[in-house]
Amino acid sequence: MIPEILARQREEISRLLDSKLVPRELAIPLARELGKPICKVVTGVRRSGKSFLSFMLLKDKDFGYVNFDERELLRIDLDTLLGAVSEVYGRPEILLLDEIQNVDGWELWVNSLQRLGYNLLITGSNARLLSKELATHLTGRYLEFEVFPFSFREFLSFKGEVPEEPPRSLERRGAVNRALREYLERGGFPEYLVKELSASYLQTLLSSIIYKDVVRRYRVKAPQEIEELALHLLSNFSAEYTFNKLKNLLGLRSVVTVKKYVRYLEEAFLMFSLPRYSRKTKEIIKAPRKAYSVDLGLSNAVSPRLTKDMGRMMENCVFLHLRRKGLREGVQLFYWRDHQQREVDFVVRRGTAVERLVQVTYASGRDEIDKREVEALRRASDDLRCKRLCLITWDYAGEIRSRGRRITCVPLWKWLLFEERCESG
């Protein structure tokens, strides 16, 4: 029976590889590691494209594939699995294990397979795949790659657009901004975009993530509570929250329960929490955090809001870009707020030094930029001893001088596509 399931999965892969596959930015660094005898771990929110990324990289290689999203595969032993893999694939050079977190004791499996000499590529939809279980059993013997829904560059690739800087004409620049508005509205879940599905796909996806990756995995006894919490946080992205306020707002039992539920949602990659910057660890822990959605299309599909707040959508988009970048470069992200409630959206810290400050505003001209945005950047610059200041706008490029500080203003589309060229040190 098991070999028949693997043979069917193999046929499904062949059909998928014949469909339209959008190149992913993460493919390049992951491809460099494929041949190395170290476990490659690809994680990310469900349906973000982990499997497709793996298939693209392995398309012309000798690989075996097991998808553990099948009930029949959840309770088999390792010997039975290897026997079935051998029957269908022989001894493949690379073994791809998809959604492996569904198997009890999977981390021991991975350890055993490595000792047997298998070159492993594994995927999973839960952050604990990397945090506790895997780190305990494969210390120093795995590499992490986190997949997000499409970036803006990948979204343009999906639409057949080639980014250019500078655009050849004002008309071309307008087309890029129009694509950016569409991206902020629809998000980047690959299947939803490629197959041109309705928003109900995203609503169903959210339910699937909550019940498969949260309720079932953690045996949550009150699934309605965690679903209401997810809907609230995804609808109120780019906004502060405290555990106590969430408890009172949603009528949950205790702050401990709220903390646990938020952690579950983060581990399923549905949302992220950004801490407030402080030099004292205790203050970081006690201060409110800001919530960000893994995908704006998902948030827009489940949000009851009648109008879209472009400033908040831009901020969430910038967070996701920094998060992708931060994972590769080992930086930490915070937001900053002082006692006069002046706020800077993002503090980028490398080691103990603040590397840059990033502010986001929905402004298309110099006269539309609120003085408070500039003043907050200047104050934070003094407080954190950081001179690299960036103000991301909708469509204004230029430079602002404020009391000896230079602030580089960059349109969002340009920053997302050509960040390294945009910000001067």
54-111: pLDDT as tens digits: 999 998 899 999 999 888 998 889 899 999 999 999 999 999 999 888 888 888 888 8
Domain boundaries, the chain: 2-147, 153-194, 200-422
As a whole number, the mean pLDDT across the chain is: 91
Contact 123, 42 (CB under 8 A): yes
Which of 77-86, 167-176, 215-224, 348-357 has the lowest average pLDDT? 167-176
Listing from the earlier edge strand, what are the strands of the sheet with 239-241?
239-241, 289-293, 271-274
| H/E element, 224 | helix 223-235
Domain 2-147: give its CATH code.
3.40.50.300
Percent of the chain with pLDDT over 90: 73
Helices and strands in the chain, H and E counts: 20, 14
Token representation of residue 149: 């829904």
Residues listed for the chain: 425
CATH 1.10.10.10 fits 200-422, yes or no: yes
* CA distances, 115 to each of 105, 109, 120, 201, 373 (Å): 16, 10, 11, 41, 55
pTM of the predicted structure, to 2 decimals: 0.94
Q: Where would I find the beta strands (DSSP E) of 19-109?
A: 39-44, 63-67, 94-98
Task: Note whether 196 and 159 are within 8 A (CB).
Answer: no
Could you tell me the pLDDT band of residue 425, with boundaries at 50, 70 and 90?
very low
Residue tagged 């549905």 (tokens) = 270
Residue range 24-33, pLDDT digits in tens: 999 999 999 9
Cα angle 86-91-94, degrees, rounded to a multiple of 5: 115
CA–CA gap between residue 303 and residue 187 (Å, rounded) = 14
Burial (CB count <10 Å: 0-12, 13-18, 19+), residue 144: middle
pLDDT tens, residue by residue, 411-423: 999 999 998 666 6
Q: CB 250: neighbour CB atoms within 10 A?
A: 15
Structure tokens at 111: 């350890």
Residue 170 CB burial class (10 angstroms; 0-12, 13-18, ≥19):
exposed
CA–CA gap between residue 404 and residue 397 (Å, rounded): 19
Q: Do the beta carbons of residue 352 and residue 380 sit within 8 Å?
A: no
Query: Coil, helix or strand for 12?
Result: helix
107's torsion region: left (phi>0), alpha (psi -120 to 50) or beta?
alpha
Whether the domain at 2-147 and the domain at 200-422 fall into the same CATH topology: no
